[in-house]
Amino acid sequence: MKERTRKFPVSVFVLLMAFSVVIAPFLVIEKVNADNGGSWTTLTPLPTPISVYRNIVALTGKIYYIDANMTLCYDPKTNNWTQLTPPPIPKAGEVAACQNKIYVIGGSPEFPTQVYDPATDTWENRTSFHGTSGKVHTNVVNGKIYIMGGNYMVGLGTYFSVSSNYVYDPLTDNWTRLADIPVGVGGYASAVIDKKIYIISGGHGFTYQWGWKPIDLVQIFDTATNQWTNGTSIPTPVYDAKACVITEPFGVKQIHVIGGALGYFWYDQGFGGIDLHQVYDLETDTWTNATVMPTPRKGMGLTVVYNEIYVIGGAYNGTVVLTNEKYNPSDPSGYIPEFSSWVILPLFSVSTLALLLAKKCIKFGASKNE
């Protein structure tokens, strides 16, 4: 009987403490200190020589780099590059992965859109793009390719930003004009979340203007309604940066804006390229900073494979960069879980109750044994 009496308070205490541990994961947990989260790894660089630094695209778990005279494929699993069939027409353009093929768009209106099929390592020509192709990016939504904004050359070294907005349908091989972007920008960063295209920062106006700087606007295009809205401004405006969408460790979609330049002219601070890593959290509608990119640069290629960001190529202070670096957002070093303030009270109450009951049971057991 004494044995059972001693075990009873211990059992009660253990059960109550177990209850507090089990219930905790079901209570709301806030994330704090998200700044400087994630980690970077340096991988096999681009093979030399390369003629330009252009966009890269991911398709079926591999990364493709295409410029005017070469097609390269990077396999993240083997960390190796393979040379494939180059474009038939040596004219660089913006690239987009759509419906298991890669589209090279722009360069000049007289050149056709070139389409690469990785399954057969072959090329074909499609309808040319007649809009502005300077300092633009492609975005793919529901099997269609969108191109908007950009810079238009009006003279030697003189550009102005435009507001055009086009969509290409691979099924019909046709381009259609859509609602213009409210504020024309070139050299912007862009990403897609929930069928909406985010046009982030970039340069607006004439490039020869003294003191020209990137703007902080985030312009959002709804592909379903053909309408524009504004989002929360980016804290540090950048030019010639790149962006993508990944899911952070807590399951929230985020836009990562990486690198770029702080100005257009040689006298601007950060003109040659920066390492800045800005992150927009869709759930909280806020911007924070993540771990900076190891190699400062602008105009690089950026894509996502298995929720990891690959940044390849680019330029720094006018010199072509061959570096290939990967960002992993799952590194917990920058994330510290913290209970919401209201969670502390029930946990404290349960623990206190367990101690009081244990104390009472011990007294009760002792009196029974006397």
Confirm if 5 and 259 have CB atoms less than 8 A apart: no
> In the predicted model, what is the mean pLDDT of the chain?
81
Cα-to-chain-centroid distance, residue 88:
31
pTM: 0.79
Q: What is the pLDDT of residue 246?
A: 94
Dist. CA 57–CA 99, nearest whole Å = 13
Dist. CA 283–CA 251, nearest whole Å = 10
pLDDT (tens digit per residue) in 83-99: 999 999 887 789 999 99
CATH fold group of domain 34-336? Neuraminidase (2.120.10)
- Least trusted range by pLDDT, from 12-26, 98-112, 253-267: 12-26
Token code pair at residue 350: 């349960």
Around Cβ 307, how many Cβ atoms within 10 Å? 13
Rounded to an integer, the average pLDDT of 91-119 is: 90
| H-type alpha helices, the chain | 2-23, 341-369
Around Cβ 287, how many Cβ atoms within 10 Å? 17
pLDDT (tens digit per residue) in 279-305: 999 989 999 999 999 999 999 999 999
What band does 131 get if pLDDT is binned at 50, 70 and 90? confident
Phi and psi at 323, nearest 5°, equal: -60, 145
What band does 333 get if pLDDT is binned at 50, 70 and 90? very low
Q: What is the pLDDT of residue 355?
A: 56
pLDDT (tens digit per residue) in 138-174: 999 999 999 999 887 666 656 678 899 999 999 999 9
SS3 199: strand
Angle at 192 between CA 302 and CA 74, to 5 degrees: 25
